[in-house]
Structure 1
Amino acid sequence: MDYSCHLSVSVFMLFAFFSFFPINAVARGGDRIPSQPGAMNHSKGYSTRRLFGVKEHPLTEEIIQGYMSNFELEKSMKEFGKRCANISYVYSIGESVQGFPLWVIEISDKPGQKEPEPSFKYIGNVHGDEPVGRELLMRLANWLCDNYMKDPLANLIVEKVHLHILPSMNPDGFALRKRGNANDIDLNRDFPDQFFPINDVESLRQPETRAIMNWLKREHFTASASLHGGALVANYPWDGSEDKRNKYYECPDDAAFQYMATVYSQSHHNMSLSKEFPEGITNGAFWYPIYGGMQDWNYIHGGCFEITLEISDIKWPKANELHALWEHNKKSMLNLVASLVKAGVHGRVFSGETGFPLPAYVVVEGINYTVRAGGIYGDYHRILAPRGSYKVIASMPGYQTKSTQIQINDEGVNLDFILTPEKSNNKLAKPKSCNCDCERSDQMELFPFFKTIPIELFLIVLFILLFLCYLFKRRTIFKFSRHNRQFIGAKRATVV
């Protein structure tokens, strides 16, 4: 049995051994833990948030009545698709535990088509008892439809971005009036985690989680935001820390994420005025660590810059407050999407030999993070904090790497790369010098056998070989002449 067979048998036996042990299929990753009173991160100088500091209204039928049910939301999205068919496309990315479709609205001047433009996604209702996001996202879609060709910001988003809106990631939790899904799993703790291998078995993911993961495999999202409730702050990676302690734990693109969070908070009616979170933003691990979160997974595995937006101090406010919440968040939601075009570096990568687009790798010197250009158009979109100088590098196996220095101020930079194929360094090998002694006496030693053959026998064999060669040559010439005579005067084939 060869090495590969031994390896296959070993892997199978190991898998069979571990399959006998039960795997916990619930509650992967803990909830955010309230920080201790007076806890302080001295590196940043402000205290962490105590959870559930705002008293929630008890859920009553009066409060619930003002929100769209799952079926009303589905109807509203389909009606939107018909009313705004010129700039929208409604599709499903999967189903919940109880079989309810996870509907998405795509908004673009070319919906459903691939373009070399950045894509942004909004996700609401990750937690079933935080429904404000689903209501605000439908208002966002309708505002874009109503103001396209009227408002410059609406025009920019529709024509330069592919915006995908998933109002409810957790329709079952909403219907059941609880945080988790129908299996009582917190979906924002159900993604594979970078620090702890708690969610690495794909078959144990919740269907809603798998739908999001597969969605990112199909779509090339540049950035994203999920809408939550229970606080008023823009939260950015990392969401967890390696030692599970409350501390500022920055990711490679910390500056870019701070910029995204600030775009939202500064555009908000009062988020940036927070006394609890300076500028209305916070690092997730510093606030309180979570594991298995969607935000970090998007950045690590999806190439997508995601932030988490807490948009309402109360998780389930009264329905008559929804209009005010929309007005407070409208400008922020629009500006965050528009920032994809207004900031960072964007471009395409081509082959200098064929002119075809290349799915190249784009990195920025000093930032340990790689962005992959799209396979169809070779387009890349790299979010970078403004007012900085960056060295952008494009590479592709088989091509020479190229780099250039750019300055990003208050507008995005367009930068295309044309990569030159690598030239082979393999040259014809020169004949090696002969180290042997090439005297005549040595050459004669190569043929000692012929000394023992009688000359008469040698001549007979040589004559027979010459005669056979003559017959073979004569037959070949005859066949060739016959073949040519068959096609004299035939019409020449047309080459298309």
Structure 2
Amino acid sequence: MHVIITQLSLKSRLREDAGDTHMLLGEEAPHRNGTFKKSCATLRPTSPRALQANKSGRKTQMHRCVAVLLRRYVLHQNHVPESSGTQNSSRSRVWSGVPAHERGGLSARGECNPDIRMLGCSVVAPRCDDGRVLKPCRSTCEDVRRRCAHAFDEISMAWPYFLDCDRFFVSDEEGCYNPLEGLRGQLHAEGHNNSMDLVLSEDPSTRMQFSYQSYTQMTKILKRTEERCAHIAQTYSIGQSSDGRDLLVIEFSNNPGQHELLEPEMKYVANMHGDEATGRQLLIYLAQYLCSEYLMGNERIQALINSTHIHILPSLNPDGYEAAVAGQQDSRYSDDQDHSAAGNTGRNNAQNIDLNRNFPDLTSIAYRRRRNKRYRTDHIPIPDFYWFGKVAPETYAVMKWIRSIPFVLSANFHSGDLVVSYPYDLSRHPLEHNLFSPTPDDKVFKFISKIYSMSHERMSNENAECGSSRTGSKEGTINGAQWSSFSGGMQDFNYLHTNCFEVTVSLGCDKFPSKEDLFDIWHENAEALLAFIEAAHRGIKGLVTDEEGNAIKGARISVKGIRHDITTAENGDYWRLLTPGIHIVSAFAPGFSRAVKKVHLPPNMHTAGRVDFTLQRASAGSQTPEEDDSLPSMGTYERFDPYNQYQRYSPRETDLTQSREERVEMPWWWGYFMMPGGPPPTWLLKQQ
């Protein structure tokens, strides 16, 4: 008869490497259908089961100390014995999809791993001494618990009930044995080391866990990542959601929180639609990855962080996300469907506003400007009438954010297809909703969009991923209006109101992929995420100063043939994304004469070329380019919420102080211990 393990110490996690030795089974475990419910390994009894008839004539099973053969199972492998004809093989395979860092947390990390498993075996299969059961020593159990309880605390798991030192172990005076005696020597003799300790020496809260986190858990991860990498990371809030949740950003830089001369600022934003969770998870993983890899000496990551300010906003719509998790989602939503329909729970914010339709419609203004001979499409002021509409607090926070930091590049993550779309999102013809509608920087947008799509493992495939034709897409990129035209989008606002070039990355058909898919999705996107950050260093950068070397704030950088200028930051520095080739670039500012330079950017140049400008004072009475354009001045641009209309829609103080009931979150390992039709494994939860 063969006996199979199904549950012992963290469910199916015990393997022993005792060779072809004998252990003794002191007390038979409960069995069902010929298989034992608990044991340590596949067992083969060496003597038949003794039965005795009781007074009522019924047969009862004798409990004897019986020698059994313990097969060889290697301590360091993730193997669970299987037996044909049982239902346990599926449980043994469940671990194949669990990432190594998560398995490490379960196996009680490092040197605790074999100790806990051997201790568990000594309880279920104690030693026999001349037909007498010899139990393990209580002092051994107490020592292991003292050294290893932290491993269970870190994953919010209770100390195993079958390792209760008072219940299942005895004192030295009662006669006991040390089940760990000789274990260390055996492990070292077989070449085992403490490499697991090195892998898991970091705080487990900063390790990637490929499951979904609540708002509270996400905040905790970002804060602990900040603590772990305090010299290169800081978190800050750009505002609050409708329900008062902080819109938390984590910034990576060798000098976070301080704008540095000639270092570009870029941002990633996700979860604008609360029911699209893939991007949210990717940005959480990216933050953890940047921190870990920097500390481990990854030269590429260190170079990125030391030369770039990377701002990561994993969830722009945390209220919608919480609603989406609690409700029902249609996991194959297409952006051109009716977004008010049932099945899109959580898409909008708590005020039922679609955030990607709530920004000022500056694209229509840009189209009207084309009637002017010298029209521009940059730094278009927000029209005053916009503030009399319903402005979401999340939208307001983003607008203030991107006006306060000179962002160069941005990506906004969505779901619904597998493609990168770029501005404009609004069709240039009101009656044609799938009309190619390029910006003056169409070549630049195609260039940076392809950097992401071509670095992704599957995105550049021309096959339609989600049942749509994706007509007009090339190498995984498409013009937004040609794909699905709408106004009030965030990427158009970035381009038309600031220096920032933003694209929209759709990460797949499913809004909420299964937890098992998150690991693969991360690996499909990891290289693209890094390559896109590096794209912030394409084009040119430089300083604009006067003849005395004083920085000129708000000077315009113009490229011949592109009707879109960018402006210098507070310290006179600028960044201008450009494609490889020859460009005529000029700089000018009110009260100064224009300076012009010819720039050649070779195709293999992956860092921004340095192009500085020194402007001379214009002679008295000469006309400046700003006046000649007959367009709104930068003074008009600075007007932001001039009538203080936003206060009408701000969350009331009383609303923010009210406690909200968060979803009850189970630890990430909970699902692995759920038995079909059985009670929930509450005994595994650590009591707070």
Same-fold status (TM-score > 0.5): yes
Distance 1:109 1:167 in 2: 21
Which residue number in structure 2 is paired with residue 402 of structure 1? 595
1:91 aligns with 2:236: yes
Distance 2:535 2:301 in 1: 13
Secondary structure of the equivalent of 1:115? coil
Could you tell me how far 1:156 is from its partner in structure 2? 2.5
Distance 1:221 1:323 in 2: 30
- Cα deviations by residue, 1:174-198 (Å, 9 ceiling, x for unpaired): 0110211111211111111135589
Distance 2:613 2:363 in 1: 36
Which residue number in structure 2 is paired with residue 340 of structure 1? 536
Distance 1:363 1:236 in 2: 21
Distance 2:475 2:526 in 1: 18
Which residue number in structure 1 is paired with residue 320 of structure 2? 173
Which residue number in structure 1 is paired with residue 222 of structure 2? 77
1:124 aligns with 2:124: no
Distance 1:278 1:196 in 2: 26
The residue type paired with residue 349 of structure 1 is V
Distance 1:240 1:109 in 2: 38
Counterpart among 387, 407, 417 of residue 613 in structure 2? 417
Which residue number in structure 1 is paired with residue 395 of structure 2? 209
1:261 aligns with 2:456: no
1:291 aligns with 2:487: yes
Q: Pairwise mapping of residues 2-401 of structure 1 onto structure 2 (< 5 A)? A: 66-116=211-261, 117-148=263-294, 150-177=297-324, 178-195=346-363, 200-201=386-387, 204-244=390-430, 245=432, 246-276=434-464, 277-341=473-537, 343-375=538-570, 377-386=571-580, 388-401=581-594
- Distance change >3 Å, CA 274–CA 70, structure 1 → 2: same
Q: Pairwise mapping of residues 441-460 of structure 1 onto structure 2 (< 5 A)? A: none
**Could you say which structure has the larger radius of gyration?**
1
Which residue number in structure 2 is paired with residue 47 of structure 1? none
Could you tell me how far 1:151 is from its partner in structure 2? 2.4
Could you tell me how far 1:339 is from its partner in structure 2? 1.1
- Aligned sequence identity (%): 38
The residue type paired with residue 572 of structure 2 is G
CA contact (8 A) 1:153 1:338 kept: no
Distance 2:525 2:462 in 1: 15
Secondary structure of the equivalent of 2:475? helix
Distance 1:320 1:234 in 2: 24
Q: Pairwise mapping of residues 455-494 of structure 1 onto structure 2 (< 5 A)? A: none
Distance 1:373 1:286 in 2: 32
The residue type paired with residue 452 of structure 2 is Y
The residue type paired with residue 188 of structure 1 is N
Distance 1:354 1:128 in 2: 48
Distance 1:121 1:379 in 2: 18
CA contact (8 A) 1:390 1:405 kept: yes
- Cα deviations by residue, 1:417-464 (Å, 9 ceiling, x for unpaired): 1112224479xxxxxxxxxxxxxxxxxxxxxxxxxxxxxxxxxxxxxx
Could you tell me how far 1:242 is from its partner in structure 2? 3.1
Could you tell me how far 1:93 is from its partner in structure 2? 0.4
Secondary structure of the equivalent of 1:273? coil
The residue type paired with residue 583 of structure 2 is Y
CA contact (8 A) 2:268 2:412 kept: yes
CA contact (8 A) 1:100 1:171 kept: yes
Could you tell me how far 1:331 is from its partner in structure 2? 0.5
Distance 2:213 2:563 in 1: 43
Secondary structure of the equivalent of 1:104? strand
Distance 1:357 1:179 in 2: 43
Distance 1:421 1:195 in 2: 35
CA contact (8 A) 2:545 2:615 kept: yes
Higher relative contact order (CA 8 A, sep 6+): 1
Secondary structure of the equivalent of 1:263? helix
Distance 1:95 1:317 in 2: 27
TM-score if structure 1 supplies the norm length?
Answer: 0.70
Which residue number in structure 1 is paired with residue 71 of structure 2? none
Distance 2:318 2:302 in 1: 31
The residue type paired with residue 157 of structure 1 is L
CA contact (8 A) 1:156 1:338 kept: no
Secondary structure of the equivalent of 1:130? coil
Distance 1:391 1:355 in 2: 24
Which moved further from structure 2: 276-285 or 190-199? 190-199
Distance 2:544 2:411 in 1: 27
Distance 2:539 2:482 in 1: 26
- Cα deviations by residue, 1:357-377 (Å, 9 ceiling, x for unpaired): 4431101011000100012x2
Could you tell me how far 1:229 is from its partner in structure 2? 0.9
- Distance change >3 Å, CA 122–CA 425, structure 1 → 2: closer
| Cα root mean square deviation, aligned | 1.8
Could you tell me how far 1:160 is from its partner in structure 2? 1.1
Secondary structure of the equivalent of 1:270? coil
Secondary structure of the equivalent of 1:332? helix
Distance 1:238 1:190 in 2: 16
Unaligned runs of at least 5 residues, structure 1: 1-64, 427-496
